[in-house]
Amino acid sequence: MTKEENLEVQEKERHDREEQEEGRVQKEEEEAMTEEEEEEGEEEEEEDEEEEEEYELEEEREGEERAEVEDEEDDEQEEERDEREEQEHEDATPACGEQEAEPEPQSVSEYHSPVHEPRRRAMVHPSAQAPLPNDYAFTFFDPNDPACLEILMDPRTTIPELFAIVRQWVPQVQHKIDIIGNEILKRGCHVNDRDGLTDMTLLHYSCKAGAHGVGDPAAALRLTSQLIALGADVSLRSRWTNMNALHYAAYFDVPELIRVLLKAAKPRVLNSTCSDFHYGTALHIAASNLCLGAVKCLLEHGANPTVRNDKGQVPAEVVPDPMDMSLDKAEAAMVAKELKQLLLDAVPLSCNLPKATLPNYDNIPGNLMLSSLGLKLGDRVVLDDMKTGTLRFCGTTEFASGQWVGVELDEPEGKNDGSVGGVRYFICPPKLGIFAPVSKISKVVDQTPSSVTSTPRTPRMDLASRLAGKTKKEKEKKEKEKEREKAQRKKSSVASLDPEGMNVEVGDQVLVAGQKHGIVRFFGKTDFAPGYWFGIELDQPTGKHDGSVFGVRYFSCLPKYGVFAPPSRVQRIGGPKDGSQNDNSMVKKVHQVTMSQPKRNFNTMRSPKDLTSESSISRLLFCCWFPWMLRAEMQS
């Protein structure tokens, strides 16, 4: 290509670029013009709409004024007619001796304010704020206040505003739920209309208002019966909580409403599930909230206690664990125990529940249960193949049914100190005690180490170490002989309370309730209370008597030094004191202690005389043999 041709091509390309830019600019200007025209058109339409609305409002006002004028004219005409009729009647009737004619009765519509006819279809009302009087001191609506009552009865108060009043969870509102509900219905509300904020119907609010304390079951029952008579649907659910009316009544423990709802509901509603409670039924909801009345009512009406939620739990398994409750919730722990037993008893034996939860072991004594497992109090056990500890208790409890074991753990991984719900079953430091079913423990397998240990033999051993070894063996023999003598004395002097020798004996030093020190003087049954009791002579005058109660003497001690305590409150801290004499004649009966601590080993105390004699002998032997040993070492 020549230079001229190149120049022509470049000019053409430049010309094309300019045309494209001009076209783009024109398009942008056209689009801007169209947008401005559209905005102007929208503004004109809005102005037209506002003018039309103003025109419609003016027409409505004019129509209302015309209607008022016509009503006034009609009233004047009726008054004129009445006056004419009265005059004609007076002219027609004689002046005396005859009764005046009674006026015609007015229609019912003249006595009552006109009521809006309810719609045929339900709707969702928009959310609104609760109306309050001017210069009102409180932030909630109180129907008992005259100013609030005037607003409640005012026809101009809308349905969304009345729903906003019902939403307030205060006793002043919930106790008047029937009055507020009637006002909502008077304004033409459909019986299945919903609140736009919570998506709850009037029946949902009525079941919620039956909660004891905040609500009033009687007022809620009146409104619920009225709504059901008007055709309220019991199966409708709130889209926020997925709960129907039966779920709300079970959650707030209102058995009165449950009966009314189940009579009007279809059979499938009874065992309907709720996603907010892991797809559990109304029985699951009531059991998880410890609603004993609701559970009983649901079971009476045929609720299924074997339905499982998405976690695989039946209603009995969602009841809160009483062992996790603190001491100030003792009543709740009792309710939980009764509720769980009630649900377990309602389960048929042919269902697929775990067999361990079905039988009732309450009538089997704890010692028989332990002996069948090859265990006894004080044994080392393993809990769930993880935690190790010492077995301290076995028997029935107040917090749950069946047989339970109490274990004192080696590490602070427990939940209590041996007491649950204010009842003490054994004594241990805090966070070391734990309770578990009997099936969850097993005995620790003792692995006794070998008594013979291989030690490297040294070619030479100094004489001092040999002599020290001989003296140690002699000391051990002496200690063993002393222990044997003490054991024989105990057997001959006092009969043991436990044949295995692991529990408290008469004459032992004990700790009462973890605070008071004393000596056991009596053990057996008493006349003042059932069961077995320890009679203890305290070290300090902090007791209650001198060993006698209500004229019956069980042992003898100084006044204010005697006290009685159950076995669960007594802990052994040592054997009999030196010189103490046990009075066996005062003991009525000797029984086994059911709750006790294992017997501890205490080293025998040696007198200073023995210590000085042993040290002098060893020094003498060392001085005699050391020169000979030194000479032998030098020769070798």
Scored b (16 or more CB within 10 A) or e, 540-563 reads eeebebbbebeeeebbebeeebbb
Please give the Cα distance from 185 to 230 (Å, whole number).
Answer: 10
Q: What is the pLDDT of residue 198?
A: 93
Scored b (16 or more CB within 10 A) or e, 497-520 reads bbeeebbbbbbbbbbbeeebebbb
DSSP, res 327? G
DSSP H helices in 252-365: 255-264, 282-288, 292-300, 330-346
Distances (CA, A) of 340 to 344, 362, 370, 387, 399: 6, 14, 25, 27, 11
pLDDT at residue 45 above 80? no
Using H for helix, E for strand and C for coil, what is the string for 335-372? HHHHHHHHHHHHCCCCCCCCHHHCCCCCCCCHHHHHHH
pLDDT at residue 342 above 80? yes
450 versus 395: the higher-pLDDT residue is 395
pLDDT at residue 267 above 80? yes
In tens, the pLDDT along 290-302 reads: 999 999 999 999 8
Mean pLDDT of 70-84: 66
- 208: region left, alpha or beta (phi > 0 left; psi from -120 to 50 alpha): alpha
Q: What is the pLDDT of residue 529?
A: 75
Q: What is the pLDDT of residue 594?
A: 36
Q: Using pLDDT thresholds of 50, 70 and 90, give the confidence band for residue 90.
A: low
Q: Using pLDDT thresholds of 50, 70 and 90, give the confidence band for residue 279.
A: very high
Q: Using an 8 Å Cβ cutoff, are 303 and 281 in contact? A: yes
512 versus 292: the higher-pLDDT residue is 292
Q: Which residue in the block uniquely carries the two structure tokens 């939980």? A: 336
* Choice among 63-72, 121-130, 608-617 with the minimum mean pLDDT: 608-617
In tens, the pLDDT along 458-478 reads: 344 444 444 445 455 566 666
**Which H helix or E strand runs over 34?**
helix 3-92
Q: What is the pLDDT of residue 163?
A: 95
Q: What average pLDDT is seen over the chain?
A: 75
Please give the Cα distance from 332 to 322 (Å, whole number).
Answer: 8
pLDDT at residue 330 above 70? yes
Please give the Cα distance from 524 to 506 (Å, whole number).
Answer: 11
Most confident option among 137-141, 246-250, 427-431, 558-562: 246-250
Please give the Cα distance from 17 to 11 (Å, whole number).
Answer: 10
Please give the Cα distance from 242 to 277 (Å, whole number).
Answer: 9
486 versus 510: the higher-pLDDT residue is 510
Q: Using pLDDT thresholds of 50, 70 and 90, give the confidence band for residue 352.
A: very low
DSSP line for 40-92: HHHHHHHHHHHHHHHHHHHHHHHHHHHHHHHHHHHHHHHHHHHHHHHHHHHHH
Q: Is 227 exposed, middle or buried (0-12, 13-18, 19+ CB in 10 A)?
A: buried
Please give the Cα distance from 288 to 339 (Å, whole number).
Answer: 10
Mean pLDDT of 72-77: 65
In tens, the pLDDT along 99-117 reads: 444 444 333 333 333 445 5
In tens, the pLDDT along 121-141 reads: 889 999 999 999 988 888 889
Count CB-CB contacts under 10 A for residue 307.
16
pTM reported for the whole predicted model? 0.43
Please give the Cα distance from 12 to 255 (Å, whole number).
Answer: 93
Q: Which residues fall within 8 angstroms of residue 217, CB to CB, at 6 or more apart? A: 210, 254, 256, 257
Mean pLDDT of 403-422: 87
Q: Which residue in the block uniquely carries the two structure tokens 């103003």? A: 54
Q: Is 319 exposed, middle or buried (0-12, 13-18, 19+ CB in 10 A)?
A: buried
pLDDT at residue 395 above 90? no
34 versus 493: the higher-pLDDT residue is 34
110 versus 12: the higher-pLDDT residue is 12
Count CB-CB contacts under 10 A for residue 216.
19
DSSP, res 379? -
Q: What is the pLDDT of residue 488?
A: 54
Q: What is the pLDDT of residue 319?
A: 94
pLDDT at residue 349 above 60? no
pLDDT at residue 1 above 50? yes
Query: Domains, the chain, ranges and CATH?
Result: 146-305 (1.25.40.20), 374-443 (2.30.30.190), 508-573 (2.30.30.190)
Q: Using pLDDT thresholds of 50, 70 and 90, give the confidence band for residue 505.
A: confident
Mean pLDDT of 608-616: 47
Please give the Cα distance from 276 to 406 (Å, whole number).
Answer: 36
DSSP line for 603-628: PPPPPHHHHHHHHHHHHHHHHHHHHH
Please give the Cα distance from 555 to 582 (Å, whole number).
Answer: 11
Please give the Cα distance from 157 to 162 (Å, whole number).
Answer: 7
Q: Which residues fall within 8 angstroms of residue 230, CB to CB, at 6 or more apart? A: 185, 191
In tens, the pLDDT along 150-199 reads: 999 999 999 999 999 999 999 999 999 999 999 999 999 999 999 999 99
Q: What is the pLDDT of residue 74?
A: 65
127: amino acid identity, one letter: S
Count CB-CB contacts under 10 A for residue 251.
23
Q: What is the pLDDT of residue 102?
A: 41
Mean pLDDT of 316-321: 92
Please give the Cα distance from 176 to 627 (Å, whole number).
Answer: 108
* Choice among 191-200, 234-243, 516-525 with the minimum mean pLDDT: 516-525
Q: What is the pLDDT of residue 370?
A: 75
Signed CA dihedral, 484, 485, 488, 494: sign only: negative
**Which H helix or E strand runs over 571?**
strand 570-574
* Choice among 44-58, 369-383, 476-490, 580-594 with the minimum mean pLDDT: 580-594
444: amino acid identity, one letter: V
Q: Using pLDDT thresholds of 50, 70 and 90, give the confidence band for residue 373.
A: confident
pLDDT at residue 406 above 80? yes
* Choice among 244-258, 281-295, 357-371, 601-615 with the minimum mean pLDDT: 601-615
DSSP, res 139? S
Q: What is the pLDDT of residue 15?
A: 77
In the chain, the percentage of residues whose pLDDT exceeds 70 is 64
239 versus 603: the higher-pLDDT residue is 239
DSSP, res 481? H
In tens, the pLDDT along 539-559 reads: 888 888 888 887 788 999 998
Mean pLDDT of 390-396: 87
Task: Give me 33's structure tokens.
Answer: 């013009």
Q: Using pLDDT thresholds of 50, 70 and 90, give the confidence band for residue 450.
A: very low
Scored b (16 or more CB within 10 A) or e, 45-79 reads eeeeeeeeeeeeeeeeeeeeeeeeeeeeeeeeeee
Q: Using an 8 Å Cβ cutoff, are 379 and 407 in contact? A: no
Q: What is the pLDDT of residue 27?
A: 78
Q: What is the pLDDT of residue 533?
A: 86
Q: What are phi and psi of 485, to 5 degrees?
A: -65, -40
Q: What is the pLDDT of residue 244?
A: 95
